[in-house]
Structure 1
Amino acid sequence: MGITGVRRGGTLLVMLAWLLLVSLVAAPAAHACSCMSYDLDEAIEAADLIADVTVEHEIADIAGDVTYYAVVDTVWKGEETRTIRLRTSSAITACGLGRIEPGTPLLLWGSGGDGSYSTTWCALPRDAPEDLRGALTDRLGEPADLTDQPVPLEADRLPRPGLGVLLAAGILGMVAAGVGLVQVAAVLLGLHLNRRGRR
C-alpha cells in the first residue's frame, strides 16, 4: 500500500471516530426515575385507590403508556369495584412500572377514579414497613374483601373507550399509515360538519 492509501485509510478512521463521538454526544441520555417520594402517611393521603389487584392482560399500548385490565381483590382506600383499568409507563426511567406480566399481583397505589387509574414508582411510600398491609390496616381499618364478588364477563369488564380516545387513536393510525396532516384535517372537518348537520 502506498503513502496515498495509508493517508486515505487514516483519514477514513479519523472520520469514523469523529462520527462515533458526535453520535455518542448527541444521543439522549437514559436518566433514572427521579421524583419526590412520600412517607407512608403522605402516600396514603395522595392515593385515590390502595388495593390488592391482579393484572390480567394488556388492553392498550399508546406511545409507551400501557393500560392493563386488573381484577381487584381487597381495597383499603377508594372505590370498591371488582375490575379496573391500570395505566403506567412501560419505561422504568420515566417512573413507570414497566411491562407487567399477566397474573402479576400488585399492591396498587393509584390515582384516578371511575374504574380508571394510573400509577408510578413515585406513588409508593419510601419508608414502607415490612408488614405494609398490616400498617395500612392499622391506619385505614380492615380492607374490603371483594373476592366473593364475581368477575364480570369479558364483554362487560373491558371498559369502552370514549369518543376522544377513539378519535386520537384513529388520527395516530392515519399518521402512522402515511396519511398527511391535510387529509387528517379534512377528516376532522367532515366529522364536525356531519355532527352540526345532525343538530
Structure 2
Amino acid sequence: GGGGGGGSGGGVTSSLPPVSINTLLPWTWIGGSSTYNQQPTGYPEARMSSVTWTDPSGNFWMFGGETVGINDINDLWKYTPSTQQWTLESTSPPLNQNQIGIYGTQNVPSTSNLPGARNDSLSWTDAAGNLWLFGGYGYASSTTEGDLNDLWEYIPTDKTWTWVGGSSHINQPGSYGAQTGTTGTPGARFASVAWTDNSGNLWL
C-alpha cells in the first residue's frame, strides 16, 4: 500500500510486496490489487500513512491510515504470512471513515474501545506481543480532526483496546514535568519516530 502509481496512473494502493531476505532475489507480489484506489472485500482497502507492527509470531498488523478522498480510517488488520491471509480484527461499523474514538475508562481494557481514525501514528510491540499506538493526525473524541497524543494498547489474545494515557482531545500541548521524571505527557504530534530498548521501554 501507500501513495503512488498502480497499473494505470496515481493514487493509493492495496498491494502487499514483501522484501526478500536474500537481496539478490526479486520482489514477489503476494496479494492486493495492481489498480489504485481500490476498496476490496477480504483484505484492506487502498491507503497510505498507516501504522504497523510485527508480533513475536511473525504476523504483520496494520491500523488506520488515509484512504481515497483524504478520509482517515481506524480499522485494524492482521496478516498471517504462513497462510497469506488478512483478518479484520476491529473497526467502526458500518463505515470506518473519519470515525471518532471510543475511549471508555482509562486503563480499563474493553472490546468496545477503539482509537479514532488517524494517520501517521507511532507504534511499538512490547515483549508480551501487545501492540502500542501513540498519537498521529486524525480524530479523538470529536468530529474535528487534529494532532493527537493519546496512547493505546491492543492485546491480541483478548482483542481489547485500552486507552492508557494522553488526552481524548486534539491539539494538546505536552506536560513536561521535571526532566527524567515520570509525570510528563508528550504533546500531540504525528509522523514522529519510535523505538524500544532492550528492557522493553518505549521511546519517542
The higher-RCO structure (CA 8 Å, 6+ apart) is 1
Give 1 or 2 for the bigger CA radius of gyration: 1
Q: Which has the higher strand share?
A: 2
Q: What's the TM-score, normalizing by structure 2?
A: 0.24
Q: What's the TM-score, normalizing by structure 1?
A: 0.24
